[in-house]
Amino acid sequence: MEAIYGLNTQHDTYKFIYMCKQNKLLITGGSDFHDFNISSHLNIGDISLDSRNIENLLKYIENR
Protein backbone atom coordinates (compact mmCIF):
# COMPACT_ATOMS: atom_id res chain seq x y z
CA MET A 1 0.00 0.00 0.00
CA GLU A 2 1.31 3.47 -0.85
CA ALA A 3 1.13 4.70 2.73
CA ILE A 4 3.83 7.34 2.37
CA TYR A 5 2.78 9.98 -0.12
CA GLY A 6 3.82 13.60 -0.28
CA LEU A 7 0.33 15.03 -0.32
CA ASN A 8 -0.89 12.99 2.67
CA THR A 9 -1.39 14.75 5.95
CA GLN A 10 0.77 13.42 8.77
CA HIS A 11 -2.41 11.91 10.25
CA ASP A 12 -3.19 10.12 6.98
CA THR A 13 0.33 8.71 6.78
CA TYR A 14 0.12 7.32 10.32
CA LYS A 15 -3.34 5.90 9.60
CA PHE A 16 -2.18 4.16 6.41
CA ILE A 17 0.95 2.75 8.07
CA TYR A 18 -1.23 1.42 10.90
CA MET A 19 -3.59 -0.20 8.36
CA CYS A 20 -0.63 -1.84 6.62
CA LYS A 21 0.69 -3.25 9.89
CA GLN A 22 -2.73 -4.52 10.95
CA ASN A 23 -3.27 -6.25 7.60
CA LYS A 24 0.33 -7.40 7.03
CA LEU A 25 0.72 -5.28 3.89
CA LEU A 26 3.95 -3.87 2.53
CA ILE A 27 4.45 -0.17 3.18
CA THR A 28 5.43 1.69 0.03
CA GLY A 29 5.63 5.34 -0.91
CA GLY A 30 5.59 7.56 -3.93
CA SER A 31 5.55 11.09 -5.23
CA ASP A 32 3.05 10.48 -8.06
CA PHE A 33 5.61 12.08 -10.37
CA HIS A 34 4.51 12.48 -13.99
CA ASP A 35 6.49 15.42 -15.34
CA PHE A 36 8.78 18.16 -14.04
CA ASN A 37 6.30 20.78 -15.24
CA ILE A 38 3.30 19.53 -13.23
CA SER A 39 3.15 21.35 -9.91
CA SER A 40 0.27 19.33 -8.44
CA HIS A 41 2.62 16.41 -7.62
CA LEU A 42 6.04 16.06 -6.05
CA ASN A 43 9.29 15.40 -7.88
CA ILE A 44 11.27 12.18 -8.14
CA GLY A 45 13.19 11.63 -4.91
CA ASP A 46 10.96 13.80 -2.74
CA ILE A 47 9.55 10.71 -1.01
CA SER A 48 11.64 7.89 0.39
CA LEU A 49 11.18 4.78 2.48
CA ASP A 50 13.18 4.00 5.58
CA SER A 51 15.68 1.13 5.39
CA ARG A 52 13.35 -1.33 7.14
CA ASN A 53 10.57 -0.84 4.59
CA ILE A 54 13.04 -1.03 1.70
CA GLU A 55 14.36 -4.33 3.08
CA ASN A 56 10.81 -5.68 3.45
CA LEU A 57 10.01 -4.74 -0.14
CA LEU A 58 13.22 -6.28 -1.51
CA LYS A 59 12.68 -9.50 0.47
CA TYR A 60 9.15 -9.75 -0.90
CA ILE A 61 10.38 -9.29 -4.48
CA GLU A 62 13.21 -11.75 -3.99
CA ASN A 63 10.86 -14.45 -2.67
CA ARG A 64 8.32 -14.13 -5.50
pTM: predicted TM-score of the whole model, two decimal places: 0.79
How far apart are alpha carbons 59 and 15 in whole angstroms?
24
What's the number of domains the chain is made of?
Answer: 1
Query: Which of the two residues, 46 and 54, has the higher pLDDT score?
Result: 54
Is a pLDDT exceeding 90 seen at residue 22? Answer: yes
User: What domain range is 22 assigned to?
Assistant: 2-62
For 28-53, the pLDDT digits (tens) are: 998 777 778 777 777 777 788 999 99
Is the pLDDT confidence value at 26 over 80? yes
Share of the chain above pLDDT 90, in %: 61
pLDDT at res. 10: 94
What count of other Cβ atoms lies within 10 Å of the Cβ of residue 56?
A: 15
